[in-house]
Structure 1
Amino acid sequence: MIAALLFVAALAADPAPVPPEAATASTPKRPSPVADTDLREFAAIAGRKVVGRAVGGPYANADKVLLIARDDKGYPAVTASMGFPVRQSLPAPPATTLAVIRIHQRYETTIPGPTPDDLAFVAANKLPLFVIGEWARPAPMWEVAWIDDAVRYRAVGDVGEIGPWQD
């Protein structure tokens, strides 16, 4: 009996080491700064389906924001959809978010594309951002990502085909 108590006390004082594969499985994996192909294609289709729909809520001219994560089977899914004030930087999304889609009603830059707020979001969060322009049909789309310690973006076609990275 005393031997059993000593054994239990020894286990409590010095926990068993965790196998390396279990240690890596328990820590959440940080999302990639560049979206996987299936996320890019999902954003191209799901994001453009929202283009032209009205935004409800307190903002008269709101951007639409969609948060993308994987469902329990591993497929991309929209986990949240909301209106967000124009010309305002997005806050950091929940940890499970793998990519964000932001749909602008009108372009704010000289040349249509990601705004300075979009670029700042990616620089701060190192998370892929898809920017869709609601002002044209078909709606233009850009992928903004953190690559080689800099924010870069590229055009994304109707079904996920990509152009070259730009600074």
Structure 2
Amino acid sequence: MPSCPPEAARRCATSPILLGDYKTDPEAELERPTRISLIDTETAKLRLVDLGTSYSFRSLGRGPRGEALVLGTNGTLHVIDPETGKVDMKIPVVGEWQEPLDWQQPRPTLFVRDHTAYVSEPGKRPARRRHRIGQEGQVRDPAEEHERTLRRRHRP
């Protein structure tokens, strides 16, 4: 299940809200859900958030302040407030993709460490895209920032 960044471990460990996938067909060989679940363990309430796109089991993570992160098959990273279920941000990070039938086949994957969300995109260059999640929740792409800096330095 999703990991919690080390500096947010206390917040995540004490958060009563769990992030989970939400599948409804136990007979499906491959179900492509479009809703995630936010489960409040104190009130035993389930909140469903419809993303409007599917995702895979490797698409779920938690941000530095406990926000829910979901990489959709539309190539967008969805940043969700776990308290309200509101999608606060939609960040395009990779191209559109489809979950393969074989669960062992490569697909874009989300991994979060500290303030950085890493999204792999197998078979594409760059092999890894990073998005830094700042203190106020803003998201920056370090590769784009570096590119802008280089363009400014090398203007004629």
Q: Which interval holds the TM-score relative to the shorter structure?
A: under 0.3
Please say which structure displays the higher CA radius of gyration.
1
| TM-score between both structures, scaled by the size of structure 1 | 0.27
Larger helix percent: 1
Which structure has the higher relative contact order (CA within 8 Å, separation 6+)?
1
Larger strand percent: 2
